[in-house]
Structure 1
């Protein structure tokens, strides 16, 4: 789905609110378009190119129309057959990752806000994601029970158990990107996040143990802000994309939707804020020690609650 840009009252504002507009073509179709364009520009017939993926012309035609899920092996074999240069291949890889993400999250369309769909698409394309949180553990690092506690807390209307289950499944399945080489993820957390209770003590103990595991992943960098550090007043997600994508962007979520900052002036401001927060954070060793301390504390509280 595409988005329309609506400026705030200040016409020079660097922040652009994005609202969904029906009609954006699915990622699978965009990937198919690119594959067809490369085939046709090189003068190959469907039959000739289909041999590269050991399939029929109908199989390749369905792939180019976005009607069949794209298999990674087939896409790479076609790219090799077309002798795609590195920059073209990078774009194909982005579309492939985006199509893979869309394939799973579209199953949760009934419980997925439009602004969250856009974020998931952007996460699948990003090279690096930097997140600052002062209220909760970031969604990419949440356990299912912690996510469930948040879902139940944030809803003004009571959701059915089935709706809660599907919403939690969506939020936790976003974490498929943790199994990919990219994006790299930096999570800057205010220390109060470790102390703020979401759910019961057992939920918090489980979440702290999970956060420790994430902090030990090579692609995840978890830092806890020092108590005397100057921290941003709101959560910030900064997404950086490969060089050939037009720009980076900042995602700012609220209860009713989300805002994306895309102007260079705004990006510079958010980049500085996050840089200051990083500089005001403990090192990895000290951050892990603080998470371990929180895990032990919540573990003791959970034992008393049993």
Structure 2
């Protein structure tokens, strides 16, 4: 196995600016998330836009605008489509929550007091991604954390935070996880250093619950959890977490996200993006198989007795 190239620092002019999200931008993001969910259910049923247009007493273009998030969703139309698609109870709860957020404002605005602008931008884009690959070398990724694990981790990195602030950060992470895990997209690959499984946050019960949660996530078809075993010599690894997002939009097909202590870098310049993508590809190749990764997680869980 060849060693990974050391990730290169990105030139300053290649960093996408981290801009605050306005209310209109957030509403548009919520509309797109709801539209994507409806499109996913329609395509899963093998239905065309023309076939479902009469369900909402509209035209093909009206359905198309709704699915692209280009027109405000009407609750009656959304629910009529969901019933016509035969959406199950769990899917209906997801649609109702997305509809609520699309009507009010971006769902994460309720956590604006504990959410920096650079993270708001990531949350918005996560909902539009088709694939997410995240590498973590210190902790379980936020989108796979249990509430108890997240609570202890947030306390460790925000020692001066008030208890209510910590709970709001935990609530935010839980909401992000719910939205990313529901539905067929985005597909999620998590590359974890084996040390993450043994680094303790909270008591043994908290760790057992967290590792059990990872094992349960392994059973979700769209989730691929892979462990980088300590026993293997696979060369240099990035010294920081990386998240890589792929989109269906040809105008913005992919980007990488690197979070720092109090800021974040959005990598879009082709050369730097290649470096991060190649690093993650090499890590995938070096990681244990899905079954061996499950075994390592189960063995780590057995240690917390």
TM-score by length of 2: 0.71
Answer yes or no: is the 8 Å Cα contact 1:223–1:287 preserved in 2: yes
Q: Which residue of 2 aligns with 1:16?
A: 16
Answer yes or no: is the 8 Å Cα contact 1:101–1:121 preserved in 2: no
Residues in 2 aligned to 1:163 and 1:191: alpha-carbon distance in whole angstroms: 30
Answer yes or no: is the 8 Å Cα contact 1:229–1:280 preserved in 2: yes
**Residues 221-279 of structure 1: per-residue CA shift (max 9 Å, x gap):** 00001322232211000000004342311011112021100111111111110011011
Answer yes or no: is the 8 Å Cα contact 1:97–1:124 preserved in 2: no
**Residues 115-152 of structure 1: per-residue CA shift (max 9 Å, x gap):** 22111111100000000000000011000011111111
1:15 to partner: Cα distance: 3.2
CA shift in 2, pair 1:189/1:101, >3 Å: farther
Residues in 1 aligned to 2:301 and 2:104: alpha-carbon distance in whole angstroms: 32
Question: Quick check: 252-261 or 233-242, which moved more?
Answer: 252-261
CA shift in 2, pair 1:243/1:28, >3 Å: closer
Q: Which residue of 1 aligns with 2:165?
A: 163
Choose which of 169, 176, 181 in structure 2 pairs with 1:178. Answer: 181
1:262-277 → structure 2 map (5 Å cutoff): 262-277=268-283
- Structure 1 residue 232 corresponds to structure 2 residue 238: yes
Unaligned stretches of 5+ residues in structure 1: 1-7, 36-47, 54-59, 78-94, 301-306
CA shift in 2, pair 1:10/1:167, >3 Å: closer
**Number of matched pairs:** 251
Q: Secondary structure at the match of 2:302?
A: helix
Unaligned stretches of 5+ residues in structure 2: 1-8, 36-53, 60-65, 84-97
Structure with larger Rg = 1
Q: Which residue of 1 aligns with 2:130?
A: 127
Residues in 1 aligned to 2:55 and 2:262: alpha-carbon distance in whole angstroms: 47
1:212-251 → structure 2 map (5 Å cutoff): 212-227=215-230, 228-230=233-235, 231-251=237-257
Q: Identify which of structures 1 and 2 has the higher relative contact order when contacts are C-alpha pairs closer than 8 Å and 6+ apart.
A: 2
1:105 to partner: Cα distance: 1.8
Residues in 1 aligned to 2:30 and 2:213: alpha-carbon distance in whole angstroms: 36
RMSD over aligned CA atoms reads: 3.5
